[in-house]
Amino acid sequence: MATINHNKLVRDRIPEIIEASGRKCEWEVLSDEEYLVRLDEKLQEELAEYQEDKSLEELADLLEVLMAVAEARASFAEVDAIRREKRDKRGGFEMKILLKSTDDGE
């Protein structure tokens, strides 16, 4: 039987799911530093997948990785507090504004 190399961050239950299907897998727990590197890679992967098909499932995957990044770098609550503060000061995106140009201020 051939081995397929993945070498990517996966959800916590993936090894369990693979083994429950009768297949074998090799996995390891990452260091905090390597976890951050792999989360950034996963973020790019999930963003590309969402941009390709725009499905709600891919959007949910992207959000899951974003939440994991927030927890790994600080906490989701801390990141959300910063998000809210910026929203209060600068607004959100509900009005669908496209800034086309500005003058140079002189």
Task: List, for residues 54-95, the tens digit of each pLDDT value.
Answer: 999 999 999 999 999 999 999 999 999 999 999 999 999 999
The neighbour count for residue 96, using CB atoms within 10 Å, is 5
Placement of tokens 């509900």 in the chain: 94
Tell me how far the alpha carbon of residue 83 is from its chain's centroid: 16
Residue 6 or 106, more confident: 6
Please list, in sequence order, all residues whose beta carbon lies within 8 angstroms of the beta carbon of residue 72, skipping any fewer than 6 positions away: 32, 35, 36, 39
* Residue 87 DSSP SS3: helix
pLDDT bin (cut points 50, 70, 90) of residue 1 is confident
**Which pLDDT belongs to residue 55?**
98
* Residues 10 and 29 sit within 8 Å (Cβ to Cβ): no
**Which pLDDT belongs to residue 31?**
98
The domain limits of the chain are 30-89
**Which pLDDT belongs to residue 69?**
97
**Which pLDDT belongs to residue 53?**
96
Mean pLDDT, residues 35-55 taken together? 98
Closest CA to 23 of 54, 46, 44, 2: 2
Percentage of residues in the chain with pLDDT exceeding 90? 97
**Cα gap 30→46, rounded to integer Å:** 20
